[in-house]
Each structure stands twice: as structure tokens, then as C-alpha cells.
Chains A and B, each alone.
Chain A
Amino acid sequence: MSDTQTQSAKAAPRRPQPAQEVESVTIRFAGDSGDGIQLTGMQFTTSTALAGNDLSTLPDYPAEIRAPVGTLPGVSGYQIHFSSREVLTPGDAPDVLVAMNPAALKANIKDLKKGGILIVNTDAFTAANLTKVQYAKSPLEDGSLSDFRVISVELSRMTGNALAGLALTKVQVERCKNFFALGMMYWLYDRPMEATLNWIEKKFKKTALLVEANQKALHAGNAYAETAEIFGAHYSVRKAPIAPGVYRNITGNEATALGMIAASQKSGLDLWLGTYPITPASDILHELCKHKEFGVKTFQAEDEIAAIGSAIGASFAGHLAATSTSGPGVALKSEAIGLAVMTELPLVIIDVQRGGPSTGLPTKTEQADLLQAMYGRNGECPVPILAPATPAECFSMAYEASRLAIKYMTPVFLLSDGYLANGSEPWLIPDADKLAAFEFPTLPEADKYKPYLRDERTLARPWAAPGLSGYEHRLGGLEKQDVTGNVSYDPDNHERMVRLRAAKVNKIAQDIPATQILGAKKGKVLVIGWGSTYGAITAAARNAQARGQSVSSIHLRHLNPLPPDLGDIISQFEHVLIPEMNMGQLLKIIRAKFAINAVGLNKIKGQPFKIAEVETGIDALAGGGRN
């Protein structure tokens, strides 16, 4: 596979060492959740983006805020894959593992590539820390790491030496060691340090001593890596051939938040977010509440139900309304979603999926809420569903969800997941002027107004917010009489309204762009994906195509309604493979809709697919297999 580090012959160490060129690198930082691992990873990401590589990241942090120090539950990880080619995933297996303690080593060593670089903080390999993770003997000494290039660094002591003379406490010195390690990594992969130096200056601007200490640690780590010749060589990764333009790095949750603000600005409607804190969705709230100058109103409600209730109230009031949550929150909101369907009010329901059922795996990713979004309500209660494929795409899909919600006067699900939410990638910043225009349902003159008089094109009812004289009307959860919106228990009317609500959602098909096919339009295997599996599926399909397999792939952003061209595309292939991080939920939908014997490829480990896993699935259907 191409997603590997290709290392040229070992150069003899000399100073200054020229960097050896490699195509792709995957690094995983791991340590205690208090070690600043996420921060270190994000700094490395910024510098890598500035170096012009394409990249993808995956943070993996524990559910516990501060699990006991040095234990396995307390291990926090951050993986970055960067390359001079297009990057689609955070990488299958790391080429480099930075382990800050024995727990981090134990939790991650199984993933490190054979021959990979293992950097360990030997100061943390104390008898006590080894015991905590049931290492009878230090793995640094028992030969169990002979498959790897082990770089032992006395990280705490070296950091202490570097900062000697500064009036710092032991704890403060210890907190700088992640920057020492980061400095080493910057040398190893020839990254510029300016962005991190600037960041430190901003972050600690109130305490000059801490600015000095952290910057010193970074420089010291960098110098140490170079002068001590511990690595033997260092590497560079060329700039990737990326579409020209201005880029930034963005996580899925940030992109979702910005998508909602953009929708608010472009629609001319103030944004209301009613929400309740829940992992992994809370960052959407954190991001939105920073931007009040855009008229954003964020409301941290007393519970999930109040969160969506407030959003429905704000929608009735004429705002662009959203509620953000994860699967357990959706379960609590179900009745209210039904109310939004019955009252036909626009609302964006953001579900950042996580492992379930129940509390499940709060910090791990899964795609197991698709059927909940499709069917998880009482009655015939159709809701459109959109799913972004990458972190950056959360922007455009949040925007599109808002646009469709208003155009069709309906709640819309946006199915993100923990992987998209916390993962990041470079984002070609869109031109705000070129974002799609919002369309509003027609509002008739007051004397012709009826609350459920529909727009023929979209079947949307008019949106008359309180305050408009002559449009006074009452909405509610009781069945509505067609056109007038009065309460009706008439049997024929009920069936008509059930069918009308379904027909309205199906009308959205006219807004779905033609499905892009990766590969030939006809062949043996068609891989259908949705959501965050995009990267792994696309990379796997490309690899399989390169190996000569007859395979194509498509990725669905619209799950309800499905793209209108889907049936025709499917009909051109012998087999359909649907990889999902669940037990086969899209699989059920596709089988039911097209009556075909599609095959599932299912992973339910709280972790995204590896490219190799999808390739294996493809080969099983396409035949042949890899050599």
C-alpha cells in the first residue's frame, strides 16, 4: 500500500544532517491524559499544515477526565498522518510512537509498525509505573521491543536540565516535557517551530516565566535531537499537490459550528442553539458561544428535551434553530422531534454519534444511530438525514442541512460522529459570497394565509412567525387538518397528512446532486459508504483499483431521501459492499429499498476502519485478493 513510510538507505550521521525524503508518515503521541498529549498533537498538526503537507488527525482520549496517573484508562492518544500526497485517513498504523509512560506504551505498542520508531520517556519507567500496568519487567530491558527502533530519552531529567536556573516548581518543569518531546519531533520531521513558539507566547502571555520555560523546552528538545544524533537520520515530507487557495486546519465540530453561523448569516436569520453538554458534541456549543457578535444565541438547557424544546420555540419565532447532541440525547429528544415533524418547523438536529447503546463508549466513534435517526420515533415520522464524510465537510453539510430545513420546513438530521468531530484536516476556506442561497417557502397575503397551505414545488407550508399581524395561528402536536391546520381526528385526513409529510421529505431528492462514482460506472463490486468511513473506503478502493480489481465506490451524503440516481448506479454492479461502523444499518435500508443482496462489512470497535480492512472486504467480493 502507498500509505507507508518509505525509508531510503540509512545515511551516516553527520552534522548538519540533510533530511531524507519520505512520502507519508503517521505519528502517534501517547501519554497520560494530563500530559498535554492533545495539545502536543495539535501543535504538530499546525506546523505540519504550515509545512504544506496534506494531513488527517485522530485524537483518542479517555472518557475519564483524569483517570489515575499512569494507568491504562488514563492513556490519551493523538495520531497524525501527513504526506506529500492526498491524505484520506489518519493512517492505519503509526510509523512513530511517542510513549510518555509505560501505560502509553502498553496501550499502543501493538499498533506500531514493525521497524517503526519508538520514543519513550525512560524517566516514567519506574517500578511503580510498571506495576500499575502489570509489566513484571521493564519492556525496555526484556527484549520485547526488538522489532522497533527504540529511542530512550530521559525526558523529565533533560527538560529539568534545560530549564535549570528558572524559578520553576518541579511540577511546572514536568509540565514542559511535552514541548521538549515536540521539539524532538520537529527536528525528526523537519517542521518549522515558529507557529508553536508564537502559540506559547499567546497562551502564557500573562506569565513571562512560563513563556520562557515552554519555549526553552521546545528549543532544547529540538537541539537535543539534532546534536545527540539519537535518531541517526531525520526526514522531510514534501509539500502535497493541494488545490491552490487559503487553508486552515479544522475539526469536524468546529466546521459544524461555522456551517451553522454561515447559514445564519446567509439566510439572514439569527441562530439559536439549544443544547445540553454531551461528549463528543459539546465542542459545537463551545465554538458557537464564542461568536455572539454574529447574533448567535446559545442556550445550555437543563436537559436534552429542554434543549430541543427551546430550539422548536425559537424556530416558531422565526430563527434558524439547531440542537446538538449525541445518540443518548437523540433518544431523549425523540418525542420533540416528532413535534417538529407535526408542526413542520425547520430545525437542524446535530447528532455526533458515539459508541452505544446506553452510555456506551462516550469518547469512541460509531455509526449506529442511523436507524434511530430514520425510525426512532412514534408514528410515521420521516426526517431527512445528511451525513458529512470528512471533518471539513461538516461545514458544508451543516449549511446544507439548514438550507433544506428552511426550504422544506422540516427538521433535518446531521449525522456526524466522534471521529469526524475530533478529527481534523486542512480546509480550503470557502468564499462566503459563493455559498448557496437560501430559499424560503412562499408566504401568501394575510387574507389568503392558511398555516398548512403548501408550496407546490416543495410541499413546504408557510412560515409565519409571531408578530405578523393577520397571521395569528395555533400549532401543536395533534394531527392537523390539511390546509387549515386545525385539529382533526378525521381518518381520511390523517392518512392524507401522513402521506403528505412523507412526500415532502421525498421531494428533497430534487436537491441532491448527482452521485460521484470513484472508478468505472460498471463492474464487479460497488462499495457504498456514508459518513466518516469515507477516507478508508476511498483509499481502499483506489488501492484495489491499482491492483486491478473491478471495484468502484460511492459515498452517500444524503441518507433520507437517498440520491435518486442510486438505483441505476447499483444496477451496474454484480456485488454491493457496505462498510459501516455498526451491525449493518445502511445495509438494511439499501436491501429493503432495492431488494438486493448487498453485503455488509461491519466494525464495531469504537475505532474507524483501517484501509486494509476495507481492502480485504473488497477482495472477498471481487475475488483474486492481494499477493
Chain B
Amino acid sequence: MENKEELTALPAHGPMLTRKDFVSDQMVRWCPGCGDFAILATVQKLLPSLGIPREKYVFVSGIGCSSRFPYYMNTYGFHSIHGRAPTLATGLKCARPDLQVWVITGDGDGLSIGGNHLIHALRKNVDLKILLFNNRIYGLTKGQLSPTSEFGKKTKSTPYGSTDQPINPIALALASEATFVGRVIDTDLARFAQVLERAAKHKGSALIEIFQNCIVFNDGAWNEVSDKATRDENNVDLIHGQPLIFGKNRDKGIRLNGFKPEVVTFAPGQPPKDLLVHDETSAPLAYMLAHMERPDFPTPQGVFRSVQRPALHELIDGQIAQARKASGAEPDLQALLRGSETWTVAA
């Protein structure tokens, strides 16, 4: 299923590292039971397997609970200002293409105050691995409405209920022409590790929306899809080239009725032939999947879209190489200072 070009982007193997090499000496200060712990552990577990030297990783974050993440990684890191992580990460990656740059953000940081930056980092295909921790609430400021909070939601800042339509992060990423868009649940460790690895190996912007549970201010926001008892019925796995089948007994599927998806039920093991088959390269399909929401549909999990497009740093470096080729000689500062029209004043 892996795209061949994606795998070639990997640098050569460095010395063998372990998870512990990526654990910093700082005490992790998230609330006990926070979904962030699972995300941190999953990332720390993945990195040694990628064969990239530790000093080549940079974790950049904005502001929010999730944005403390870089302090807990024993790599280079930058805990920046609210919403602006993609901007720093863009400068960092384009200045130094040899680095692997991760952006850690949340629904408030990435979709509200930093929404503009997220859009543009994605459309420019900056080679960033963006983990968007979505807990549908402002945690660090203690419980206000977030841009992904449900319409009508009562929070500390909306005692009469939210008046705002929530943002759909996947649809936003797709509309921004992101080249890799995935979704996982913080507690679904196996799938999380898979999608995370694919994102890490993707060349270009990779955004993963992570359903993350805020145990203090929005506990159970994702129960419907994360709870063991209901998750098989309420999620559908996106597997490239495979039909969309879900349910504890794998007896339900998605098919198209005209332009609209619908749920069909069938006898286990006997799926109808017209079930929708996932294709990570199809933009219309990805849009449709992004809009399949509870309660009418199972929530799609996995990789919505994965396509190849030159990353921004490649294009920038390409233009520099082209300019150097066109100018022929080594760049000459003195010639630049002289410019094209000069005159000489004699002594």
C-alpha cells in the first residue's frame, strides 16, 4: 500500500536508537489520564525506527496543552507562540531541508488563532508532519469553546450553548490541498502507529487529526468512537484499494447512491460487489469521506488522502540551482554591488 516514492525520502540509517533516547529530562506535566500521554509514547516509540539521527528532528509547537510536547522530546524543539508553529516550521524546514520537522498543535492553536498558517503550510506542501490534537475544547485556558466544539455545546464561555458551526479539520486540510491527510484516535495505538509512520515517511505536508481526550474539560468527547464497546460499529477503516466495511461482525459497508454515500448491511463475509473502494489519490472521494459524520455514518479512520507533489523546499532549492546554473560563474558579491551602471570619479 505504501507509495514507493515516499519510502525513498528516508535518510540513511544512523546509530540504533531506542525510545529512551527521545525522552527528555523534563517532568511531563499533563493532567493524569490525559490523552496526550499516549500520543507522546507513540511518537517516542516510532522515531527510533525511522533511522534518522536524533539531532535531525525538530518539534515545533504553538500554545496549548499539546504544545508542551517539544519539552518532553529529547530532540531539538521550539515552543513558539499561539497559532504560529507552522510559520516557524516552514522557515526551519525550507532553510534546512536535512531536518525532519514536526508540528504539534491543537484545535484551538491550529484551527482558530493559527488557521491561516495551517492552510498555507498545507497548500505550499511544506514538508512538515503536523499532529493536530483535537479535543474539541480549550484546555490550557480552562474550558472555553474551541472551533471544533459541537454546535450548541455548553462550555465555560458558552453557558447558553455554542452558536458556531464547528470546523471539520479533514475537510479543511483537503481544501488546502494537503498531500497527506489522516485521522486516528489517541487510544487506538495500533492504527495510530501505522498512520504516524506513513506520515513520517511522506514527503510534503502530512496532517494527522488525532481524536484526543481532555479528561478534565471535555471528558468522553470521543467515547462513541473510542469506547471498546461501540468503536467497531462507529468507525470505518480507510484502507487503500479495499472496500469500506465496518461493524463488529464486519457486516456493514458504504456504497454510493448517486453522489451520496449510504450504509448497507450484508451477511458477514458476503459483501456486495458495489461497495465503495478506498482510493487515497481521489480528491472527490476524500471530500466525501471527510463529510461522513456520526450519527448517520461511521467515522472514517486512517488515511484519507496521500498523493505526491514537490515539497516547498525542493522548489526553492530548485530555483536556486537554476539561478546558479544560469549565472554560470560563482556568485560574485563585488559584481553585485557594482550593478549594471557605474561611473568613475577620477582622483
Residues of A in contact (CB 8 Å), total 76
CB-based nearest B residue for A270: B95
Specify which chain B residues have a CB less than 8 angstroms from the CB of A339 in the assembled complex.
80-81
Residue from the list A294, A314, A472 in contact with B92, Cβ < 8 A: A314
A429-B333 Cα distance, complex, nearest whole Å: 11
A248-B58 Cα distance, complex, nearest whole Å: 44
Q: Any chain B CB within 8 A of the CB of A415?
A: no
Specify which chain B residues have a CB less than 8 angstroms from the CB of A262 in the assembled complex.
333, 337
Residue from the list A270, A429, A467 in contact with B99, Cβ < 8 A: A467
With A466-B56, A478-B79: A245-B344 Cβ-Cβ less than 8 Å: yes
Contact residues of A: prevailing secondary structure: mixed
Contact (Cβ within 8 A) A52 B81: no
With A466-B92, A474-B24, A487-B71: A309-B80 Cβ-Cβ less than 8 Å: yes
Q: Any chain A CB within 8 A of the CB of B342?
A: yes
Interface string of A298-337 (1 = CB under 8 A from B): 0101110111111111111111010000000000000110
Specify which chain B residues have a CB less than 8 angstroms from the CB of A467 in the assembled complex.
55-56, 96, 98-99
Residues of B in contact (CB 8 Å), total 61
Minimum distance in angstroms from B285 CB to a CB of chain A: 28
Minimum distance in angstroms from B87 CB to a CB of chain A: 3
Minimum distance in angstroms from A289 CB to a CB of chain B: 9
Minimum distance in angstroms from B126 CB to a CB of chain A: 10
With A292-B320, A293-B331: A429-B342 Cβ-Cβ less than 8 Å: yes
Q: Any chain B CB within 8 A of the CB of A469?
A: yes
Specify which chain B residues have a CB less than 8 angstroms from the CB of A46 in the assembled complex.
341
Contact (Cβ within 8 A) A313 B26: no
A51-B338 Cα distance, complex, nearest whole Å: 18
B window 46-88: CB within 8 A of A: 53-58, 60, 63, 70-71, 73-81, 84, 86-88
Contact (Cβ within 8 A) B55 A249: no
Q: Any chain B CB within 8 A of the CB of A475?
A: yes
Q: Any chain B CB within 8 A of the CB of A18?
A: no
Interface centre among A46, A265, A270, A466 (most CB of B within 10 A): A466
CB-based nearest B residue for A486: B26
A250-B343 Cα distance, complex, nearest whole Å: 13
Q: Any chain A CB within 8 A of the CB of B347?
A: yes
Residue from the list A245, A291, A292, A302 in contact with B116, Cβ < 8 A: A302
A111-B63 Cα distance, complex, nearest whole Å: 55
Minimum distance in angstroms from B151 CB to a CB of chain A: 28
Q: Any chain A CB within 8 A of the CB of B257?
A: no
Minimum distance in angstroms from B68 CB to a CB of chain A: 9
Contact (Cβ within 8 A) A476 B80: yes
Contact (Cβ within 8 A) A261 B333: yes
Contact (Cβ within 8 A) B99 A474: no
Contact (Cβ within 8 A) A466 B55: yes
Minimum distance in angstroms from A300 CB to a CB of chain B: 10
Minimum distance in angstroms from A39 CB to a CB of chain B: 15
CB-based nearest B residue for A478: B79
Q: Any chain B CB within 8 A of the CB of A224?
A: no
Interface string of A239-265 (1 = CB under 8 A from B): 100111111111000000010011001
Interface centre among B54, B79, B80, B338 (most CB of A within 10 A): B80
Residue from the list A297, A476, A487 in contact with B320, Cβ < 8 A: A297
With A297-B316, A306-B84, A474-B78: A247-B337 Cβ-Cβ less than 8 Å: no
Contact (Cβ within 8 A) B343 A52: yes
Residue from the list B53, B319, B341, B345 in contact with A52, Cβ < 8 A: B345
Specify which chain B residues have a CB less than 8 angstroms from the CB of A512 in the assembled complex.
none
CB-based nearest A residue for B326: A293
Contact (Cβ within 8 A) B99 A466: yes
Interface centre among A249, A262, A294, A487 (most CB of B within 10 A): A294
Residue from the list A258, A301, A309, A468 in contact with B55, Cβ < 8 A: A468
Contact (Cβ within 8 A) B91 A246: no
Contact (Cβ within 8 A) B79 A313: no
Specify which chain A residues have a CB less than 8 angstroms from the CB of B78 in the assembled complex.
313, 316, 343, 474-476
Contact (Cβ within 8 A) B342 A469: no
A window 410-438: CB within 8 A of B: 429-433
Q: Any chain B CB within 8 A of the CB of A295?
A: yes
Q: Any chain A CB within 8 A of the CB of B117?
A: yes
Specify which chain A residues have a CB less than 8 angstroms from the CB of B86 in the assembled complex.
306, 309
Q: Any chain A CB within 8 A of the CB of B12?
A: no
Contact (Cβ within 8 A) B320 A295: yes
CB-based nearest B residue for A342: B81
Contact (Cβ within 8 A) B91 A293: no
Contact (Cβ within 8 A) B91 A321: yes
Q: Any chain B CB within 8 A of the CB of A272?
A: yes
A487-B24 Cα distance, complex, nearest whole Å: 13
Contact (Cβ within 8 A) B94 A297: yes
Contact (Cβ within 8 A) B120 A319: no
Contact (Cβ within 8 A) A246 B342: yes
Q: Any chain A CB within 8 A of the CB of B267?
A: no
A312-B58 Cα distance, complex, nearest whole Å: 14
Contact (Cβ within 8 A) B341 A248: yes
Contact (Cβ within 8 A) A312 B79: no
Chain B contacts to A: CB under 8 angstroms: 24, 26, 53-58, 60, 63, 70-71, 73-81, 84, 86-96, 98-99, 116-117, 119-120, 316, 319-320, 322-324, 326-327, 331, 333-334, 336-339, 341-347
A243-B345, A301-B90, A475-B79 known, 18 other contacts, Cβ within 8 Å: A49-B341, A244-B345, A244-B347, A246-B345, A247-B342, A249-B341, A262-B333, A295-B331, A297-B94, A302-B120, A314-B91, A316-B58, A317-B99, A321-B91, A336-B81, A429-B338, A474-B70, A486-B26
Chain A contacts to B: CB under 8 angstroms: 46, 49-50, 52, 195, 239, 242-250, 258, 261-262, 265-266, 270, 272, 274, 291-297, 299, 301-303, 305-319, 321, 335-336, 338-339, 343, 429-433, 465-478, 486-487
What would 5 A/B residue contacts be, using CB atoms closer than 8 Å?
A250-B339, A270-B95, A313-B78, A336-B84, A472-B76
